Amino acid sequence: VIPYAKMGYWDPNYVVKDTDVLALFRVSPQPGVDPVEASAAVAGESSTATWTVVWTDLLTACDLYRAKAYKVDAVPNATDQYFAFIAYDIDLFEEGSIANLTASIIGNVFGFKAVKALRLEDMRIPVAYLKTFQGPATGLVVERHLEINLPQGIFFEQDWASLRKVTPVASGGIHCGQMHQLLDYLGNDVVLQFGGGTIGHPDGIQAGATANRVALEAMVLARNEGRDYVAEGPQILRDAAKTCGPLQTALDLWKDITFNYTSTDTADFVETPTANV
């Protein structure tokens, strides 16, 4: 694991181009995380980085596609809050796609645990990118007066109940060495997105996928046999790795790497009975 700033996502000498998409984030780093590293992490996770080194980096023009955090300022009259100025090359984004732009800059990074809080304060979208949209030239009329009730949600004007259940997703910094913890926390009905934990395997993507599958099946088998798979998890994985080279390689590489920051999304809801109508 290499710090984001050292991977090139921090460049205080970067010269902003007219065609860059610029974003201004308000960042509150977790305790012990340097503001520059937190800003570089936001730049990395919203562009081309993952939590580990992957061999496909050698096939990508990273200097072109890598976002650059180029300036960090402390927020006036605030404690542990910083403005992070980040530039994105226009080639990162699909032409004429708001969904693609927002998924990268907004959606992909806001669950990042290295920051305690993150807010997108402002953006500059270059004319070159705006011209790829074929919508109305004068924009759309929108509601400008919304009741601000942040705990409920700005766009929800009623209390919701009886919503269908959704599948939890574990993503970002997970690898096969954490399989016992993932099953314990999330159960069977879960999506485990091993991105860097698959592509970052030294022997390639197929080996990474094999390591994850063998680790999962070994842990499920141990649980079904009645073993205390949470306490015995590391040993279960070591035993499975004796007959699976890719799993052994993955465990040797990532060992017990974790991103053990305080949760920023603790449960604070209150259960209420649903009315029978």
**DSSP characters over 224-269:** HTT--TTTSHHHHHHHHHTT-HHHHHHHHHHTT----PPPSS----
Q: pLDDT tier at 106 (50, 70, 90 boundaries)?
A: confident
Which has more pLDDT, 73 or 31?
73
Residues 6+ apart with CB under 8 A from 46: 23, 67, 86, 88, 104, 105, 108, 109
Which has more pLDDT, 271 or 183?
183
End-to-end CA distance of the chain: 55
Could you give the domains of the chain? Answer: 5-130 (3.30.70.150), 169-254 (no CATH)
pLDDT of residue 104: 84
Residues 6+ apart with CB under 8 A from 237: 176, 177, 179, 180, 215, 218, 219, 247, 251
- What are all long-range contacts of 160-169, with beta carbons under 8 Å and residues at least 24 apart? 161/272, 161/274, 161/275, 162/274, 167/191, 169/193
pLDDT of residue 277: 47
Q: Looking at 60-64, 172-176, 236-240, 271-275, which range is the least confident one? A: 271-275
pLDDT of residue 86: 96
> To 5 degrees, how large is the angle CA 174–CA 114–CA 257?
35
Which has more pLDDT, 170 or 149?
170
Chain centre to alpha carbon of residue 216:
22
Quick one: average pLDDT of 15-21?
95
Instruction: Give whichever of 15-19, 28-32, 59-63 has the largest mean pLDDT.
Output: 15-19
8-state DSSP, 43 = H
pLDDT of residue 79: 87
pLDDT of residue 169: 86
pLDDT of residue 23: 95
The average confidence (pLDDT) of the chain is 83
- Contact between 52 and 196 (Cβ < 8 Å): yes
pLDDT of residue 24: 96
Quick one: average pLDDT of 89-94?
90
Quick one: average pLDDT of 159-165?
71
Q: pLDDT tier at 66 (50, 70, 90 boundaries)?
A: confident
pLDDT of 265 over the 60 cut:
no
Interval 176-215: pLDDT, tens? 999 999 999 888 889 999 988 898 898 989 999 999 999 9
- Contact between 83 and 25 (Cβ < 8 Å): yes
- Contact between 55 and 204 (Cβ < 8 Å): yes
Q: H or E segment at 84?
A: strand 82-88
- Contact between 99 and 85 (Cβ < 8 Å): no
> To 5 degrees, how large is the angle CA 145–CA 148–CA 150?
150
3-state secondary structure of 101: helix
pLDDT of 248 over the 80 cut:
yes
Residues 6+ apart with CB under 8 A from 232: 180, 222
Tell me which residue of 176, 218, 168, 217 sits closest to 194, measured CA to CA: 176
Interval 107-128: pLDDT, tens? 767 666 678 888 899 999 999 9
pLDDT of 276 over the 70 cut:
no
pLDDT of 271 over the 70 cut:
no
Task: Supply 144's token pair.
Answer: 């400008």
pLDDT of residue 268: 58
- Contact between 3 and 37 (Cβ < 8 Å): yes
CA torsion sign for 194, 197, 199, 201 is negative
